Amino acid sequence: MSNGEINLRDLQHPDIPVPEEMQSNIAVTSLSSLYNWARSRSIWPLLFGLACCAIEMIATAASRFDLARFGMEVMRASPRQADLMIVSGTVTKKMVVPIVRLYNQMPEPKYVLAMGACASGGGPFKEGYNVVSGIDKYIPVDVYVPGCPPTPQALLYGLIALQKKIEKQSLGVGASVPWYGSGPSEEVPVPILGPDIIDPRHAEVLRKEAKKNRPTPTVAEALAELTKAESA
């Protein structure tokens, strides 16, 4: 893929031989690889920044690091036109509602890259009362990029990892990705802002917890209970 030229050898199916002298003109390949090859080189990210990491994401898109080299410079503000959501920053409880809604609005196939410590697992702000412990609590994440914030080089590495992941996905029915199966895949239920953030998938646990008739224990309370149970 150097010099922006198409190298047919990249696509060549390993089991079907093509004579050496014809390899620059002819490739026998599968539909999956051809399709994925095109898709992985034209990922359109959602123009969407959350916090500090967004600044490094913009720096990655700028001239020095130049995201355009990977076919990703077309950042779209509308989720309807985007393939990739780069969750670039701390996900707060207030913000996770629009994020899940945006994710649902993205057409399939869609990917999520958790950029930085906060999006991956809460980061330095994890213990805060308004912070979600990583976006993967709500939506599936394909690539995690560590760092606080990750340097543009690290983000590029993560994006290349995503390209490699896309290249391995098969178009076959019943494949590992939901969008190549039959019928539409399910939407992620949008969280509700109640006394605290509520994941609708937790309705059953909530009912079970409500019977105990006490506020949800803090980590300190849970630890104290555990040590009490252990010593007994």
Partner 1 sequence: MTDQVLPQVTDLPSTIAALKERFPNAVKDDTRSGYEGVIVDTACLQEFARVIRDEYGFNYLSSLTAVDYLGHGDHLEVVYHAFRVPSGGKPLVFKAQTDRQDAVIPSLVSIYPGADFQEREAYDLYGIHFTGHPNLKRILLWEGFEGHPMRKDYREAYYEQETKPFDSRWPGGHVFRGEEYNPFGHNVRYPAGFTLDDYKPVTEAEFQQGMALGVDIMGDPAFRTDRLLVNLGPHHPSTHGVFRMMVALTGETVESLEPVMGYLHRNHEKIGERNTWYGNMPFTDRLDYICSMCNNLAYAITVEQMMGGQVSVPYRAEVIRVLMAELTRITNHLWSIGFLLNDLGAFFTPALYAIQTREYILDFFEATAGARMMCNYMRIGGVYKDLTARIRSEAALINDRVRDMDTMEYLDKLINDRLPRSIDELDELLSESEIIKSRCIGVGLLPAEMAIAYSASGPLLRGSGVPYDIRRANPYSIYPELEFDVCTRPNGDIYDRYCVRLDEMRQSVRILKQILPRLKDTQGQPIFGGKTSYSIKVPAGEAYGFAENPKGELGFYLVSTGGGNPWRYHVRAPSFINLTPLGEMCKGQKVADVVAILGSIDIVLGETDR
Q: Please report, as ranges, the residues that interact with partner 1 according to CB under 8 A.
A: 47-52, 54-56, 58-59, 61-64, 77, 89-90, 92-95, 98, 102, 118, 122, 124-133, 137, 148-149, 151, 153, 192-200, 202-203, 205-207, 209-210, 212-220, 222-223, 226
* Least distance (Å) between residue 140 CB and partner 1: 16
> Within 13 Å of residue 140, how many CA atoms lie on the same side as its CB?
11
Cβ closest to partner 1, residue 207 vs residue 228: 207
Angle ∠(72,75,77) on CA atoms, nearest 5 = 155
Angle ∠(103,206,133) on CA atoms, nearest 5 = 45
* Least distance (Å) between residue 117 CB and partner 1: 11
Spatial contact of 88 and 112, defined as CB atoms under 8 Å apart = no
* Least distance (Å) between residue 150 CB and partner 1: 10
CA distances from 214 to 21, 44, 97, 159, 211 (A): 76, 47, 26, 45, 8
> Within 13 Å of residue 192, how many CA atoms lie on the same side as its CB?
8
* Least distance (Å) between residue 161 CB and partner 1: 18
* Least distance (Å) between residue 230 CB and partner 1: 14
Nearby residues of 231 by Cβ (< 8 Å), 6 or more positions away: none
Cβ closest to partner 1, residue 210 vs residue 232: 210
Provide the 3-class DSSP secondary structure of residue 60.
helix
Angle ∠(143,172,10) on CA atoms, nearest 5 = 65
Cβ closest to partner 1, residue 10 vs residue 196: 196
CA-CA distance, 128 to 122, in Å (whole number)? 9
Cβ closest to partner 1, residue 10 vs residue 221: 221
Cβ closest to partner 1, residue 78 vs residue 176: 78
* Least distance (Å) between residue 221 CB and partner 1: 8
Cβ closest to partner 1, residue 70 vs residue 180: 70
